[in-house]
C-alpha cells in the first residue's frame, strides 16, 4: 500500500572526514522516500524554491516516487549546512535557512488521498498536524521529531503525538520528551502521550521497538543492532532512511502482525546502514533490491543464534 | 572445564542516583568469578589485605569458587571509590588505593594447574604476563585491560596481547589501542596484535564479536544488544560480569564451535544485565541458574525474528 510523506526536501552542504559536498539533495522527506521506495509506492508533500532543478527531480523519478505534491514556491529551497568532523555521531549545524518552508502550508493532492500509510517527517508540528487532519482515515500514521520541537514547541508536538500510531526518535529525544533518563521508563511515558509504538534509534548501535502493551520483565519488544561498517562516509539521513525502510516494509507487509513490525526493524537498520556509505542520497540512488536482500541475510546471521 | 582468573579483589565505595554503598566487595576478579561460577568451576588468583574478612570470603564460598589462590598480605586491600551521579555509563573515580596490589607477585597454586581456561582480568599487564607464562598449556586465554594501561604501559600490554586468544575491551579502548576511530578497522588492527577474537563491549548497547578471519562485507561475527532495563542501580562490574558469562559459558561448552562463541555473547549480555540491577555483587549473590535461563529466553525473543 502506498505511503504519503510530508517533510523537508532540501539542499545540504555537508563536511565529514571523508570530504565534502555542496548543495546536494537532502531533507528528511527525500531520505525517507528514497529508502521507502524499495518497498512500496511513495508520494511526497513538500515545498521547494525556484532553485530546485530537474536534476533533483530526476532522483525521485528514477525511484518512481510521486512528486506531484511537491509545491514550487517563489524564493529559495530549504538549506542546511553541517559537519561531522569531530564525531560521526553528531552533526554540527553551521547554517539553517528555512526559506520557502517558513511560509509552507501543506496541501494534499487528490491523487494522494487513497494512501493508507502516512509519515510525518521531522518538520514543525503545526504542519505535521495540518497534514494529519487532512488524512483522517489512514490505516497507520508514523512520525519523527527533534529536540528543537520537543524543547520549544511542546504543546503543538503533544497534539501531533495524540494522532500517531508510531513515533520514531533517538535516545536523547525520547529521554528529553519524557523527562526521564531511563530509556524503558521514558518509553512508557512517551507512549502514554499517544503513540502505541515507539522506535528509539541509537545511532551506530541500532534501535529498540517498544509497544504500549509491554510484557512484564521484557523491557522492549525488539532490539536490533546496527551493521558494523568499515566505512562511514556521511551519517546525514541515516535516521530518515531507517524510518523509510521500517515504514516502507510495514506498508508492503500483507498484514500488520507483531512479526511484521519486528522484520520492519531489521529492514530499517539495513537501510540506515546503506545510507551512510556515501554522501547525501548517493548510495540510495545506486542501490538495488538485491543488495538489500543480501544485506538483510548477512544482518540476520550477524544477530541470530542458529538454534 | 575450570577457569583460573587473576585480577583484583577489592573494596569499592560506590555512589549512584539509587544510593551508595561503602566498602562493598568489588574488583574485576570478584565480579568475573561470581558470574562465571554459574557455568563452571572457577579459581581465583589475587591478593587481599588484613582487612579482608570472612564475610567477603563467604561470598565466594557460597558460589563454590576456589579462593585458595587469594593471598593475604600485610596492609590494606585494594580500594576504589567512584560515582555515577551524572551519567550511569561513566564512572567518576574519586579515589584509587592499590595498597597490597602495589607489590603483588601472583603465584599459582598447584591445584589450579589443570585449569584449561585462563582469564587475565584488568590489572597491570606485567602481572597478566607473569600468570600467562606460568600457565603455558591452557586451551583458551582471554583478557581485559583499560585505557590507563593502553596509554601509559603500551609495550607491556602488547606483550600480553601476543599471548591472548580473546581480548574483551570497550569501544573507546579498542579505538585508542588501534589508533583508529572506525570500530571495524580498529578491530582488525587489534587482532593483528595477537588475539584471534575480539569482543568489544558497548555498555548499555551490547557488544560485538570479531574474528580475525572475518568474511568480506560482514564487518563482525556477531552483534548482541544489551537488555533494556527499567532499573539500573549500579553499573560497577557489568563488563566483568559480561566477561564471566561469556568465558564461563565457553568453558562449559562441549566444543569451542563458532556457535558456542555466539551463544557465549548472549550469556555475557545476560550476566551483565543482572549485575547492574543491584549494588556491587549483591545481584550475583542472590541469582539462580533458573533466572539466567529465563532471561536468556526473553533476550532471545527480544533479538530474534521468528522465521
pLDDT for B90:
84
CB contact under 8 A, A219 and B307: no
Q: Write out the three cell numbers for A20.
A: 565534502
For residue B214, name the pLDDT band (cuts at 50, 70, 90). confident
- Across the range B161-175, mean pLDDT stands at 97
Look at residues A7, A222, A197 and name the one whose alpha carbon lies nearest to residue A118.
A7
For residue A166, name the pLDDT band (cuts at 50, 70, 90). very high
What residues of chain B lie within 8 A of the CB of A304, using their CB? 303-305
Q: How many residues does chain B have?
A: 307
CB contact under 8 A, A232 and B262: no
Residue among A208, A298, A305 minimizing CB distance to B217: A298
- With a cut of 90, say whether residue B151 has pLDDT above it: yes
* A45 contacts A131 by C-beta, under 8 angstroms: yes
For residue A235, name the pLDDT band (cuts at 50, 70, 90). very high
pLDDT for A35:
98
pLDDT for B219:
77
Q: Is residue B196 less than 8 Å (CB to CB) from chain A?
A: no
pLDDT for B89:
82
Percent of chain B with pLDDT over 70: 98
- Across the range A4-27, mean pLDDT stands at 96
Separation in Å, CA of A302 to nearest CA in chain B: 4
Separation in Å, CA of B215 to nearest CA in chain A: 10
Backbone angle region of B31, left / alpha / beta, with phi > 0 → left and psi within -120 to 50 → alpha: alpha
Residue among B204, B208, B225 minimizing CB distance to A228: B208
What residues of chain B lie within 8 A of the CB of A229, using their CB? 182, 184, 219
Percent of chain B with pLDDT over 90: 93
Write down the H helix ranges in chain B. Answer: 28-36, 54-62, 125-134, 147-152, 154-162, 171-178, 183-191, 238-252, 258-275, 282-286, 289-303
Q: Is residue A229 less than 8 Å (CB to CB) from chain B?
A: yes
- With a cut of 70, say whether residue B17 has pLDDT above it: yes
B185: Cα within 13 Å, side-chain hemisphere: 8
Give me the residue label for grid cell 535461563. B293
Separation in Å, CA of B40 to nearest CA in chain A: 22
- Across the range A104-125, mean pLDDT stands at 96
Residue of chain B nearest A304, judged by CA positions: B304
- How high is the mean pLDDT of chain A? 95
What residues of chain B lie within 8 A of the CB of A185, using their CB? 230
For residue B305, count CB atoms less than 10 angstroms from its CB and return exposed for 0-12, middle for 13-18, buried for 19 or more.
Answer: middle
* A207 contacts A242 by C-beta, under 8 angstroms: yes
CB contact under 8 A, B228 and A184: yes
Task: Round to whole Å and give the CA distance between B48 and B39.
Answer: 25
For residue A127, name the pLDDT band (cuts at 50, 70, 90). very high
pLDDT for A217:
66
Q: What is the pTM of this model?
A: 0.95
- With a cut of 70, say whether residue B269 has pLDDT above it: yes
**CA distance between the termini of chain A:** 35
**B56-87, pLDDT tens digit by residue?**
999 999 999 999 999 999 999 999 999 998 88
Count of pairs with CB atoms under 8 A, one residue in A, one in B: 102
**B77-114, pLDDT tens digit by residue?**
999 999 998 888 888 999 999 999 999 999 999 999 99
Look at residues B99, B158, B103, B152 and name the one whose alpha carbon lies nearest to residue B129.
B158
Q: Is residue A137 less than 8 Å (CB to CB) from chain B?
A: no
- With a cut of 90, say whether residue B171 has pLDDT above it: yes
What is the CB neighbour count within 10 angstroms for residue A3? 30
* B166 contacts B261 by C-beta, under 8 angstroms: no
Task: Round to whole Å and give the CA distance between A133 and A58.
Answer: 30
Residue of chain A nearest B260, judged by CA positions: A305
Q: Is residue A156 less than 8 Å (CB to CB) from chain B?
A: no
pLDDT for A219:
77
What residues of chain A lie within 8 A of the CB of B204, using their CB? 183
Separation in Å, CA of A241 to nearest CA in chain B: 20
Amino acid at each position: 500500500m502506498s505511503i504519503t510523506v510530508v517533510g523537508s526536501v532540501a539542499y545540504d552542504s555537508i563536511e565529514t572526514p571523508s570530504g565534502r559536498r555542496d548543495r546536494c539533495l537532502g531533507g528528511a522527506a527525500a531520505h525517507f522516500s528514497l529508502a521507502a521506495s524499495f518497498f512500496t509506492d511513495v508520494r511526497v508533500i513538500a515545498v521547494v524554491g525556484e532553485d530546485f532543478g530537474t536534476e533533483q527531480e530526476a532522483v525521485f523519478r528514477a525511484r518512481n516516487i510521486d512528486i506531484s505534491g511537491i509545491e514550487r514556491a517563489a524564493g529559495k529551497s530549504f538549506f542546511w549546512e553541517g559537519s561531522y568532523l569531530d564525531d560521526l555521531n553528531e552533526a554540527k549545524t553551521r547554517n539553517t535557512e528555512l526559506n520557502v518552508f517558513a511560509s509552507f502550508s501543506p496541501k494534499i493532492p487528490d491523487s494522494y488521498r487513497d494512501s493508507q500509510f502516512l509519515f510525518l517527517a521531522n518538520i514543525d508540528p503545526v504542519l505535521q498536524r495540518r497534514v494529519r487532519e487532512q488524512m483522517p482515515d489512514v490505516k497507520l500514521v508514523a512520525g519523527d521529531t527533534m529536540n528543537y520541537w520537543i524543547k520549544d514547541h511542546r504543546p503543538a508536538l503533544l497534539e501531533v503525538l495524540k494522532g500517531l500510531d508510531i513515533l520514531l526518535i533517538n535516545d536523547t529525544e525520547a529521554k528529553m520528551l519524557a523527562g526521564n533518563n531511563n530509556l524503558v521508563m521514558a518509553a512508557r511515558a512517551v507512549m502514554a502521550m499517544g503513540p502505541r509504538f515507539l522506535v528509539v534509534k541509537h545511532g551506530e548501535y541500532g534501535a529498540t521497538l517498544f509497544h504500549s502493551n509491554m510484557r512484564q520483565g521484557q523491557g522492549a519488544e525488539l532490539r536490533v543492532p546496527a551493521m558494523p561498517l568499515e566505512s562511514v562516509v556521511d551519517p546525514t539521513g541515516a535516521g530518515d532512511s531507517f524510518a523509510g525502510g521500517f515504514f516502507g516494509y510495514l506498508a508492503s507487509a500483507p498484514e500488520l502482525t507483531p512479526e511484521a513490525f519486528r522484520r520492519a526493524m531489521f529492514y530499517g537498520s539495513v537501510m540506515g546502514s546503506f545510507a551512510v556509505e556515501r554522501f547525501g542520497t548517493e548510495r540510495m540512488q545506486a542501490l538495488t533490491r538485491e543488495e538489500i536482500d543480501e544485506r538483510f541475510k548477512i544482518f540476520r546471521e550477524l544477530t541470530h543464534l542458529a538454534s
